[in-house]
Structure 1
């Protein structure tokens, strides 16, 4: 076993030495790796290992491409490298350009959960929502397909979902809730619905000893004259302990009560784990409003589709997540079945590496997660990516990521998954300085810039497409 690990590590280092320094980062947009310096492209390079595990997925691509009917469902599960949807979003664009745009795929209102997420969909609501991530201990929260529970008890709650990109208009929607009950009515509106109002922010300042009106004005970015006007002052004399109203251009949002008569309710069909809404036309906006009979309102996410054949690329990511965090919530897997995955991509390992987890324990957690995936998606191909290079701290590279990457590669055959070696395709530990110099690694030295994630997406797409092209030639 040790000998195999060393062999894999040497291959990775050779790849770095021969190719990483020759990568052409170019300008913004497309980043192409120059692999002309590789010693042997058949042995070392940007490739996917154990591609025989992808046969079912490749068969589905051929079927949809030839018939021009149906969807190809790709589900990409991960941690913070995936939640923002830069890496996976780049894959979505490239694969849909090649094989057709079947719709946006899975979407979740991260904004309402007070965290970052996909920028392609905008959410607003008139209610306060509570959330709970799968990284926390199991309790009564309904953590499902998104990996984040989202709930409110507001019986007047309304959510507006709107897509920012016209190419992701949707004519079909699937709605996932914990008990697969109709907690929400779904509808459209011919009128503009205001869920939040903006009012000038009220700022009060208690005067301290030694302060001047000029200093207070400078602190809040206003003028002495504006403060005098707001407080009906005739002079600039102020007294410690007194309060001043500070004029501000800032706005604060407050909830607005919305009558359900504003909405045209749509009927949905109940399936095993979701409700389907056939919308009849392509929409860019839709509303969820509380069913008054429910005691609480939970939403695990939606799937947005159009009527065209092609790729649905579902992104599911949770900041800080590990394989074991997903495994402990059964609702996640029950709802995962509803995505009807043809390919499940899994990108985790960074957080396990920061835990200094040993390779044996890590692989056991990977296997436990994959066993549950395969129970609900037995016909799906599985493709893992190794964790990307990072630092534990400044000038202290994350060497555990290399150990976990090697473990994933070694166990691909017995685990029956394909694998793409992201760690070594980005240069491994030796490539970290180049990643920083070329603006691919973010300032926290763990995550990547948008440019870095898009470059990663380009590399991954090239490897996957090359594997598919080789399959077609056989």
Structure 2
């Protein structure tokens, strides 16, 4: 773990020490390793076993194709239209890149939490023009007019399995914020999109950093780079500028939060290559170099997942040991578990 004089580390360490009475929120924003809650889910499991379960965190309003959470299940929704920034453009997209719009008066969403908690405190991220109303497991929550801006609703308490429906003019949902009623322990929110690059946040024009601030993050992890390495048209200069801009948005909106940049792990682009130099993307290591450079200039933490795995083409060895999947991009459950353990050991060295 490289620490370029990152802000907030002492505060983060203190909150974790006080986890029996304080809530620590970790937000992971990334690509498919996060979208499927693989790496982020293993981080969640390890930290909650040590510091307590603070809740499910921030989740999408509806099931997103190709995404999953290790601690949340969606039943089939009815009467809703779903949009995701992976394939759509919408000026209303904000943090997470999801919008759910009711299209029938008799609409319904069913969500089940599988983390073992009997009850959760819930707030909806919503926007509306005019007043609306949300029904959360038969509890009525007023949705005051936000003039089209994204806000969190008043809180309610829901059981482990609950229903959601909405009424009102131009009501839209961007997600749900779920915490343990006692407001202590650790939350790890996973905000991932398959195939995403760091530039995905530019498709969230509706003040995504301001919404992030409303969730009071203590640690924000940016986990991108794999898809950039497969982009044959990537400009390293443009990538550098984009990465710096996104980090600065987070630092400006959540100045107390620690920011951690995770580099991409080892991956194989061309299986037919005769040697490692031909099988690995030519820009993978230059991308990691840019990430280190930006981490230093922006005073954030940097963890080199590529080096942790063993460097160039090391995913081939991980696959032979059953730690990586056949696509030579993603890891097995045990591989992600080992990576999460390595990340936590490295981060602990900076905190304690």
Interval containing the TM-score (normalised by the shorter chain): 0.7 to 0.9
Match of 1:98 among 50, 59, 63: 50
Match of 2:113 in 1: 163
Match of 1:309 in 2: 184
Matched, 1:286 2:169: no
Match of 2:241 among 360, 364, 373: 364
The CA RMSD measured in Å over matched residues stands at: 2.6
Q: Does the aligned pair in 2 maintain the 1:399–1:429 contact within 8 Å?
A: no
Q: Does the aligned pair in 2 maintain the 1:327–1:368 contact within 8 Å?
A: no
Match of 1:73 in 2: 25
What is the deviation of 1:63? 4.4
- Higher RCO, 1 or 2 (CA under 8 Å, sep at least 6)? 1
| SS at structure 2 position matched to 1:299 | strand
| SS at structure 1 position matched to 2:154 | strand
Cα gap change, 1:51/1:370 in structure 2, threshold over 3 Å: closer, same or farther?
A: closer
Match of 1:392 among 269, 272, 283: 269
| SS at structure 2 position matched to 1:424 | helix
Aligned mates of 1:446, 1:277 — CA distance in 2: 40
Q: TM-score, normalised to structure 2's length? A: 0.87
Match of 1:173 in 2: 122
Cα gap change, 1:265/1:110 in structure 2, threshold over 3 Å: closer, same or farther?
A: closer
Aligned mates of 1:308, 1:80 — CA distance in 2: 29
Q: TM-score, normalised to structure 1's length? A: 0.66
What is the deviation of 1:392? 1.2
Q: Does the aligned pair in 1 maintain the 2:244–2:294 contact within 8 Å?
A: no
Aligned mates of 2:312, 2:328 — CA distance in 1: 12
Match of 2:229 in 1: 353
Aligned mates of 2:16, 2:336 — CA distance in 1: 29
Match of 1:318 in 2: 193
Matched, 1:380 2:257: yes
What is the deviation of 1:322? 1.2
Q: Does the aligned pair in 2 maintain the 1:81–1:447 contact within 8 Å?
A: yes
What is the deviation of 1:120? 1.8
Cα gap change, 1:126/1:339 in structure 2, threshold over 3 Å: closer, same or farther?
A: closer
Aligned mates of 2:88, 2:115 — CA distance in 1: 37
Deviations 1:109-153 (A, max 9, x none): 553x3332114212224515443332346335x322222333341
1:419-438 to 2 correspondences below 5 Å? 419-438=302-321
| SS at structure 2 position matched to 1:371 | helix
What is the deviation of 1:467? 1.8
Q: Does the aligned pair in 2 maintain the 1:267–1:277 contact within 8 Å?
A: no
Matched, 1:327 2:276: no
Aligned mates of 1:69, 1:181 — CA distance in 2: 38
Aligned mates of 1:394, 1:430 — CA distance in 2: 11
Q: Does the aligned pair in 1 maintain the 2:56–2:189 contact within 8 Å?
A: yes
Matched, 1:116 2:67: yes
Deviations 1:305-345 (A, max 9, x none): 11142212111001111111112322222321211111110
Match of 2:276 in 1: none
Matched, 1:442 2:325: yes
The count of residues paired between Structure 1 and Structure 2 equals 340
Q: Which protein has the larger Cα radius of gyration, Structure 1 or Structure 2?
A: 1
Match of 1:185 in 2: 134
Aligned mates of 2:96, 2:214 — CA distance in 1: 13
What is the deviation of 1:265? 3.0
Cα gap change, 1:416/1:101 in structure 2, threshold over 3 Å: closer, same or farther?
A: same
Match of 1:275 in 2: 153
Matched, 1:83 2:35: yes
Q: Does the aligned pair in 1 maintain the 2:60–2:96 contact within 8 Å?
A: yes
Q: Does the aligned pair in 2 maintain the 1:184–1:288 contact within 8 Å?
A: no
**Unpaired segments of 5 or more residues in structure 2?**
273-278
Matched, 1:340 2:212: no
Q: Does the aligned pair in 2 maintain the 1:170–1:305 contact within 8 Å?
A: no
Aligned mates of 2:179, 2:312 — CA distance in 1: 40
Cα gap change, 1:443/1:311 in structure 2, threshold over 3 Å: closer, same or farther?
A: same
Aligned mates of 1:347, 1:180 — CA distance in 2: 35
Match of 1:35 in 2: none
| SS at structure 2 position matched to 1:382 | strand
Q: Does the aligned pair in 2 maintain the 1:132–1:148 contact within 8 Å?
A: yes
Aligned mates of 1:181, 1:408 — CA distance in 2: 44
| SS at structure 2 position matched to 1:442 | coil
